[in-house]
Structure 1
């Protein structure tokens, strides 16, 4: 009898700790679908910046890229158009929305997977702060250090 109570207590704890909050669920639903990354810009510092984003391609390659988020299995992809500066093609991802503590913003996190949904970077992933999200527009931000100074990369999307 005691073993059953302990077992069900542990199962209930696991289920409650793995559940997605209402806020995260709402943001997942809003994210679901196809988005166009319209603009990549930098704030909180002066000067001209160029960077390799997500250890993949130059920032300019991401402008105009298509991002698809499937919420029923947390997979998706982004597609970069080929050019002389950009290695085009699909990059497959597994994604989720992470709720941060009350005074913090939610985050979109993702990691790279292959066409068969297998992890390809040993669990390495990325988190972007969800600064603004509606049914048609989204702004994500990531804070980075450049020569000891903080630079925020801003990603502005529109829904297709």
Structure 2
């Protein structure tokens, strides 16, 4: 049992993406595109499907998923962007530069973390999430994780930030 939990924690922290996952729901489809995702977003809630929250030790190999709640994501149409963790007593405030894109073919949102001096084309590691919903003021990204034998997801629920 400890071994299973240990493996699940490692997989959750690295956010291994399952190949071949298809988005679900009425909002998934050809209407999802880059323009639906561009803008400023606030991560309001993180939920879990098929994996207990206590088994998710970190998000995007950075911090507890709790540290991301309330984070603001700036996604410019050029693909440049950033997210800012709000900072709490348990989580330091932090801003991370990213380069992002949307694949309409497989309905995914992907991003790479960029550090000082990095060029996006030279960064080979990143994150791929299922673009589950992208409507006027709502964005839902699902991060597939390996947990047991069934599909499991960390679900990020965003709302459009006020200007």
Residue 64 of structure 1 is matched in structure 2 by 70
Select 1:77's aligned residue among 71, 75, 82.
82
Select 1:95's aligned residue among 78, 100, 107.
100
Residue 35 of structure 1 is matched in structure 2 by 41
Any unmatched runs of 5+ in structure 2?
1-28
Deviations 1:72-101 (A, max 9, x none): x2100000012222131110000000133x
C-alpha RMSD over aligned residues: 2.6
Residue 134 of structure 2 is matched in structure 1 by 133
Distance of 2:74 and 2:95 partners within structure 1 = 10
Residue 157 of structure 1 is matched in structure 2 by 158
How far off is 1:115 after superposition? 5.1
Aligned length: 133
How far off is 1:118 after superposition? 2.7
Any unmatched runs of 5+ in structure 1?
1-22
**Which of 1 and 2 has greater Rg?**
1
Instruction: Provide TM-score, normalisation by structure 1.
Output: 0.72
Residue 50 of structure 1 is matched in structure 2 by 56
- Asked if structure 1 preserves the Cα contact closer than 8 Å seen for 2:32 and 2:107, the reply is no
Instruction: Provide TM-score, normalisation by structure 2.
Output: 0.71
Paired residues for 1:9-20 under 5 Å:
none
How far off is 1:51 after superposition? 2.6
